[in-house]
Amino acid sequence: MDPFSITVGALGITGFATSSIVQLRDFINGLAEAKDVVQDIVSNLEGIERPLAALENLCISDGATSTAAKEDLKKAGVVEAVNKCGDACNEFTKNLKKWTKQSSTTKLSLRDRFSVGVWNKEKIRTFRAQVQSCEATVQFAVASTQLIIQLRSEKMSETDREDLKKQLQTLETKIQDHLDLTIKLQDEARKRKQELQGEPEDEEDGGAQRTLAIKEVEEQSRLLEADQVSCGVVFSQLRSKRTGQDISNIKTTDGSKALVGLPESVVGKIDQRIKDVTTQRNSAVAVGVFDNVDMRDFFKK
């Protein structure tokens, strides 16, 4: 059987989004004055493109694994993040083209555009936050998918499986570090909002720029919150796969007995899901946490 693959289009990521990301990256790379002003954005955009390309190069052996991987990626918010990032990149490209037209004594340089005006500074900060959030979501979700697909392989040796679980745990740590960073950035955004709200009211524009800047800071907080949700979903998926057990279709019959569950000592360390347990003809099953069950007496009865 031919291997299955995951295309960004099949996930729901639009061609407009991916092409907008590429076009912005190419446009910035062609700007002579961009090296120390917006070059960091190029790195973030490439950090989105690389894992998406790696995703399409995945070879998945069975349809069930492919379907499960697609669902995990969607639940992590990859599709929404990339599509919204594409829209933002398209708008930012338009702004850059306006700002970098042939310069004259009456036009601001790109550096000045990024530094003049409190609203402009916060608007640029909002765009960076969106690109960075998308990058984190895509990188963590795709890396998680790659590892989980390998973990599902029945041909893997026990040594390789344990090594893979260590890689999953390392990725969990990276995601937790990122989540901690987003909390710190949210605190900084709250402080900036308070500072902007405390600015004097005697500005030349009557506070219009400051009001718009406050809205941008609020949008940054919303983006950081969405980032936390997406990465939190990936973290949960990883933890479930690394420490999880799926037990189903358990049948006992003809007086047989079975224990299905886990000891109390590992509760909270292992994520266990049990379903479809049936008993027939004087058989019995103990399901769940069974440390309080005397197992020897259970099987003697």
Report how far residue 86's alpha carbon sits from residue 32's, in angstroms, rounded to the nearest whole number. Answer: 24
Model confidence over 262-283: pLDDT tens digits? 665 555 445 555 667 777 777 7
What are the helix and strand counts (H, E) for the chain? 10, 4
pLDDT recorded at residue 223: 94
pLDDT recorded at residue 105: 46
| pTM listed for this prediction | 0.75
Model confidence over 88-102: pLDDT tens digits? 999 999 988 887 775
Reduced DSSP (H G I as helix, E B as strand, rest coil) percent helix, strand, coil of the chain, to 5: 65, 10, 25
The region of weakest confidence among 50-54, 101-105, 194-198, 284-288 is 101-105
**Alpha helix locations (H) across 100-207?**
110-115, 118-151, 158-197
